Amino acid sequence: MKILFCTKNDLFGAFILNWIMPRLKGHEVRVWLSDKTRPAENMVAPLAEEKFLERDLPLQTIFPLLDATQLSGEWLTFKALELKYEYEATILNSFKDPQPTQALRQWGPDVIVSARFSLIFKSEHLQIPRWGIFNIHPGALPGYGGLYAPMRALLNGESRLGCTLHKVDEGIDTGPIYSVSYRLAEPQRSVFSHISDLYQLGLQSLIELLAQLEAGQSLTLNRQDPQLNRYYRLPEPSDFQLLAERGLCMASYPDFIRFLNRFLPKNLADTVVSLPKAKNT
């Protein structure tokens, strides 16, 4: 099966590829990485901090250091993943350049998968793969479409958080649903600490979906009720103020260090400076 896997050029995108690539052995896989920065991510302090932790620090410092020294931990950097699984990722910050789409059309994938991909597919992309495009969205649809779904769900006091695997249509997070999987919400922990678990739920559903497609089985997809669709945009400062008032936080440094350490060799991870234990961990 020819699979185009699309994710984000950030810490969680690297985690996603580390999880999925070993499970796609036997398939012909190509990778697109989105590298898009919204203006607010450099202007709103919590968004800028998140960008630093998830993109700037790993991509500009940690990953290059690991690559240069050929060191690795349990999880691999983007470059190490390319070497191990023998692919070359295409990095995109928009679809203005027609070349990647033209190359995709010539290649003719069977399916396109999106997980944390920041770019919105165009209608022409929907027609390319014979089985369509499927998106792993870290929110329970139809109620939590758009951006920062885990944060929104915690702000709304949900007892559990969902991850949806759905087929992509002309809208945003509006396509028919293959599955919605859930994990318990842990409001005493950071939003950051929930994200990888949510994506893993969607990736597990994706493996089931791909097996059905490969076996020639028809998929059961449930149409979303448009009256229940709710789309969230990028959080504003007032949203983060509300988060703090409710005793929640986006990212705690202990959570971040524990996650980052999975990319580091054990002897190096053991030397990382320990941070004081925060009350939200």
276 in any annotated domain:
no
Strand order in the sheet with 111-115: 90-92, 28-34, 2-8, 111-115, 133-137, 160-167, 177-184
Report the share of the chain in percent with pLDDT over 90: 94
Whether residue 200 is predicted with pLDDT greater than 60 in this model: the reply is: yes
Report the share of the chain in percent with pLDDT over 70: 95
Closest by Cα among 277, 274, 268 to 62: 268
Structural domain containing residue 189: 2-264
Name the strand (E) or helix (H) holding 278.
none
Whether residue 192 is predicted with pLDDT greater than 80 in this model: the reply is: yes
Whether residue 279 is predicted with pLDDT greater than 60 in this model: the reply is: no
**Two tokens at 278?**
């925060």
Q: How far is residue 72's CA from residue 25's CA, in Å, rounded to a whole number?
A: 21
83 in any annotated domain:
yes
Residue 228's φ and ψ, nearest 5 degrees, are -100, -5
Q: What pTM does this model have? A: 0.94
User: What total of structural domains would you count in the chain?
Assistant: 1
The pLDDT value recorded for residue 270 is 67
Whether residue 236 is predicted with pLDDT greater than 70 in this model: the reply is: yes
275 in any annotated domain:
no
pLDDT of 83-108, one tens digit each?
A: 999 999 999 999 999 999 999 999 99
Q: How far is CA 25 from CA 21, 28, 61, 77, 207, in A?
A: 7, 8, 30, 19, 12
* CATH code at position 132: 3.40.50.170
- Mean pLDDT of all residues belonging to the chain: 94
Q: How far is residue 49's CA from residue 145's CA, in Å, rounded to a whole number?
A: 23
The pLDDT value recorded for residue 153 is 98
Whether residue 275 is predicted with pLDDT greater than 80 in this model: the reply is: no
39 in any annotated domain:
yes
pLDDT of 62-72, one tens digit each?
A: 999 999 999 99
272 in any annotated domain:
no
214 in any annotated domain:
yes
- Give the confidence band of 137 by pLDDT, cuts at 50, 70, 90: very high
Using the structure block, give the residue that is written with the tokens 């440094």: 253
53 in any annotated domain:
yes
Mean pLDDT of the 259-278 span: 71
pLDDT of 147-190, one tens digit each?
A: 999 999 999 999 999 999 999 999 999 999 999 999 999 999 99
Mean pLDDT of the 208-232 span: 97
pLDDT of 11-61, one tens digit each?
A: 999 999 999 999 999 999 999 999 999 999 999 999 999 999 999 999 999
